[in-house]
């Protein structure tokens, strides 16, 4: 049993880091790829198919915890939460966890207790990591679309919290909201003013 893990949301100024853990099922969809190379429409179709045919879980670490831990620590925590949830709720006992990137939560998160291997570019190489990439991206995007309804002036429906010119302009005009990461440069500078 192999679990693929990837995250979404390390670079934005607002919102959570989301990690997904996926074990591919027999009916897993074809055409899995890194979420960044898929169109939004194709990614949404694959996300629905993955969640319908595979074992999966997500881990979400909010902005205040990102500020407390730093974004790397928050990413390791989100990955640990996702794998723990999948093992607990899905009854999964992995032989190996494959993580996209060059670092894993092993030795960084006290709760991490599974055999793990980091794979640089794994979201393009390993279908289970590709699936996790898609689920994490879509899950985070849905969170940001809901947040955009509460905080419409930041343009999160378009930018998902990333530091686009319209988001930065809105930050200067309206200041940060509770979903902004206060430790990130552009937000921290406004908090200090």
> What are the φ and ψ backbone dihedral angles of 156, each rounded to 5 degrees?
-65, -20
Cα 81 from Cα 71, distance rounded (Å): 15
Fold classification of 2-192 is: Nucleotidyltransferase; domain 5 (3.30.420)
Structure tokens at 125: 């190489």
Question: What's the pLDDT tens digit per position in 75-89?
Answer: 999 999 999 999 998
Question: What's the pLDDT tens digit per position in 95-142?
Answer: 999 999 999 999 999 999 999 999 999 999 999 999 999 999 999 999
Ramachandran category for residue 63: left, alpha or beta (phi over 0 → left; psi -120 to 50 → alpha): alpha
First-to-final CA distance of the chain:
52
Question: What's the pLDDT tens digit per position in 23-49?
Answer: 998 899 999 998 999 999 999 999 999
Alpha helix stretches (DSSP H) within the chain: 40-53, 63-69, 71-90, 122-125, 127-150, 156-159, 165-174, 185-192
Question: What's the pLDDT tens digit per position in 60-75?
Answer: 999 999 999 999 999 9
Q: Is the pLDDT of residue 192 over 80?
A: no
Q: In what order do the strands lie in the sheet with 55-61?
A: 55-61, 17-23, 2-8, 96-100, 116-119
Per-residue pLDDT, 62:
98
Arithmetic mean of pLDDT over the chain = 95
Confidence bin at 193 (pLDDT 50/70/90): very low
Structure tokens at 102: 């060059």
CB half-sphere exposure, 93, CA atoms < 13 A: 0
**What is the average pLDDT across 143-161?**
97
pTM above 0.75, yes or no: yes
Per-residue pLDDT, 190:
76
Pair 61, 80: CB distance under 8 Å: no
Structure tokens at 126: 């390993």
Q: Where are the domains of the chain?
A: 2-192
């Amino acid at each position: 049993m192999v679990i693929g893990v990837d995250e979404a949301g390390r670079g934005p100024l607002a919102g959570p880091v989301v990690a997904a853990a996926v074990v591919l099922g027999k009916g897993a969809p074809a055409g899995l790829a890194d979420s960044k190379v898929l169109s939004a429409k194709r990614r949404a179709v694959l996300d629905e198919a993955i969640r319908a045919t595979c074992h999966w879980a997500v881990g979400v670490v909010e902005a205040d915890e990102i500020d407390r831990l730093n974004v790397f620590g928050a990413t390791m925590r989100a990955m640990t939460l996702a794998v723990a949830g999948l093992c607990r709720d899905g009854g999964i006992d992995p032989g190996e966890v494959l993580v996209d990137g060059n670092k894993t939560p092993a030795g960084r998160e006290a709760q991490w207790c599974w055999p793990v291997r980091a794979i640089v570019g794994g979201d393009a190489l390993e279908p289970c990591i590709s699936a996790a990439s898609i689920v994490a991206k879509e899950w985070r995007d849905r969170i940001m679309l809901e947040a955009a309804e509460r905080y419409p002036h930041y343009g999160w429906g378009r930018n998902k919290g990333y530091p686009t010119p319209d988001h930065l302009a809105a930050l200067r005009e309206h200041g940060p909201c509770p979903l902004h990461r206060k430790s990130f440069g552009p937000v921290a500078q406004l908090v200090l003013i």
